[in-house]
Amino acid sequence: MEYCLGIESTADDFSVGIASFEGEILANIIDAFISETGGIHPREAAQHHSQVAGKVLAEAFKKAKIKPKEIKVVAFSQGPGLGPCLRTGATVARALASYLGVPLVGVNHCVAHIEIGKLITGAKDPVTLYVSGGNTIVSAFDAGRYRVFGETLDIAVGNCLDVFARTAGLRQREGMPFGAIIEKLAEKGSRFVPLPYSVKGMDLSFSGLLTAAIELLKREEYSLEDIAFSLQETVFAMLTEVTERALAHTEKKEVLLTGGVAANKRLQEMLRRIAEEHNARFCVVPKQYALDNGAMIAWTGVLAYKHGQTVPIERSFVKLRWRLDEVDVPWVKE
């Protein structure tokens, strides 16, 4: 058997995954950095990554029950992401690849989210809604690449939920990210308070909406539950509208939901409904493969390696703003 080891470190998570060339995931160890204040300070997160790297690598090998010398290729998240975090993961990957004497593959983080989603759910050619702390993208494959049909013009939807929660004085815990806390609160809300609904063409904007929600909070006229409910209804309706339009335009037969925000049941429900209306299958990626994870980098590393996409160490710079639609994906057939 041949294996690829993948390292993910674009933001707050450091993760190592191991995938076989046939698409079996043998390990997927994730260590999340949780800061006191709730935000992600790039340097602090990078420090966390370098502190846990050795431990996470050892755990991954133990879980996969393989030896380091059985690794045929090392892949890492080359971008997009936070500079210090990306560089820490890249350094670990370069050291490992040169020690083992195997090729290095630089993987685009957004492509990886789509590829692991397809592997795990069996989706072949979906319209993908990728929603996380740092990204909000509606995409589908066309002519050699994953094209971006719609995206955020400012902050990511996960970031919008996180900043709202932090401003409301909530505290995230292990296993309970801000988005999940908002989801729980929203379930108890019932009164819908209108917030700015900002879809511009196929793109989305969340920052004005976030400011408006924070203003509502300060006015103390509505309960936190009602504002959380209204915030969720508004942002998820925006995401659903853009995804539906991409689906109607492309006439694809699958909708794939991924990223950390994909865990949200209300968002899942809205997307399932539009998928059904368009006779498309709705696929949601399970949490451990929807969050930032090393398995997705390992699996995409396999696909890229099989198509000759390796990178010499001296040219393996990280790419902070590497867009999804800049990447050729020769392994996807028309």
Binding residues vs Mg ion (CB under 5 A): 12-13, 292
SS3 state at 257:
strand
Q: Which residue number, 7 or 97, has a Cβ lying nearer to ligand AMP?
A: 7
Considering only 89, 103, 134, 189, the residue that binds ligand AMP (CB under 6 A) is: 134
Using CB under 6 A as the binding rule, the residues of this chain from 314 to 333 that contact ligand AMP are none
Residues 6+ apart with CB under 8 A from 266: 183, 186, 232, 233, 236
268 CB neighbour count, 10 Å cutoff: 15
Q: Which residue number, 7 or 73, has a Cβ lying nearer to ligand AMP?
A: 7
CA–CA separation, 164 and 185 (whole Å):
12
Q: ∠13-14-16 over CA atoms, to 5°?
A: 130
Interaction partner, residue 205 (ligand AMP, Mg ion, none; CB < 5-8 Å by kind): none
Q: Minimum distance between the CB of residue 135 and Mg ion, rounded to whole angstroms?
A: 10
From residue 157 to residue 196, the character string flagging contacts with ligand AMP as x (rule: CB under 6 A) and all else as - is: -x--xx--------------xxxx--x-------------
> Considering the rule CB under 6 A, would residue 14 count as an interface residue with ligand AMP?
no
Q: Minimum distance between the CB of residue 317 and Mg ion, rounded to whole angstroms?
A: 22
Q: Minimum distance between the CB of residue 130 and ligand AMP, rounded to whole angstroms?
A: 9
Omega before 42 within 30 of 0, i.e. cis: no
287 CB neighbour count, 10 Å cutoff: 11
* Helix, strand, coil percent values for the chain (each to nearest 5): 50, 20, 30
Residue 72 has what DSSP assignment?
E
Using CB under 6 A as the binding rule, the residues of this chain from 82 to 111 that contact ligand AMP are none
Q: Minimum distance between the CB of residue 259 and ligand AMP, rounded to whole angstroms?
A: 5
Interaction partner, residue 161 (ligand AMP, Mg ion, none; CB < 5-8 Å by kind): ligand AMP
Q: Which residue number, 81 or 301, has a Cβ lying nearer to Mg ion?
A: 81
CA–CA separation, 220 and 202 (whole Å):
34
Q: Report CA-CA distances (Å) from 187 to 195, 210, 257.
A: 18, 19, 21
Amino acid at 169: G
173 CB neighbour count, 10 Å cutoff: 11
Distance of CA 130 to the CA centre of its chain: 6
Interaction partner, residue 263 (ligand AMP, Mg ion, none; CB < 5-8 Å by kind): ligand AMP
CA–CA separation, 299 and 23 (whole Å):
7
Q: Minimum distance between the CB of residue 178 and ligand AMP, rounded to whole angstroms?
A: 4
From residue 27 to residue 66, the character string flagging contacts with ligand AMP as x (rule: CB under 6 A) and all else as - is: ----------------------------------------
Q: Minimum distance between the CB of residue 226 and Mg ion, rounded to whole angstroms?
A: 28
Binding region for ligand AMP (CB under 6 A): 13, 132-134, 158, 161-162, 177-180, 183, 259-261, 263-264, 291-292
